[in-house]
Amino acid sequence: MAVESDYTREYYADKKIDYVKVEKSEQFKKLMSDRKKFIVPYTIFFLVFYFLLPICTSYTTFLNKPAIGDISWVWLFAFAQFAMTFILCTIYVKKANTFDEQADKIIEDQLQKGGKV
């Protein structure tokens, strides 16, 4: 994917895009707004979920109780963090692809307009 991105960057560098005008366009503002709406809640969720385990194990004892046989809630919570990481990573990759498509559309539209907003 990085190779494609570098190729795309070189392709668009030859087209002389006025990035200041692109930044002022409504399409770009919508893209940035969409990214922020996606990234902020997921980041907050990740940080809360991530730091909840060390905080709960340091200051409470309720995670030390057995959940399934000899397996305590701490182990289940820790394995849930692995699952959370893979799930969030998958969601991010899929969403980032839509953001890339939006960005390519913005650049194509700007090229068709000759760099005008």
**Model confidence over 42-95: pLDDT tens digits?**
999 999 999 999 999 999 999 989 999 999 999 999 999 999 999 999 999 999
Between 7 and 44, residue with greater pLDDT: 44
In this structure, how many other beta carbons lie within 10 angstroms of the beta carbon of residue 107?
Answer: 19
In a domain, 12, yes or no: no
Instruction: Work out the average pLDDT over 35-44.
Output: 96
Residue (of 54, 80, 55, 58) closest to 67 by Cα position: 80
pTM attached to this predicted model: 0.71
For 40, the domain range is 25-114
In a domain, 11, yes or no: no
- Domain total for the chain? 1
In a domain, 76, yes or no: yes
In a domain, 16, yes or no: no
Between 17 and 27, residue with greater pLDDT: 27
pLDDT of the residue at 7: 59
In a domain, 100, yes or no: yes
In a domain, 15, yes or no: no
pLDDT over 90 percentage in the chain: 61
Per-residue pLDDT band for 8 (boundaries 50, 70, 90) equals low
Residue with tokens 């070189």: 10
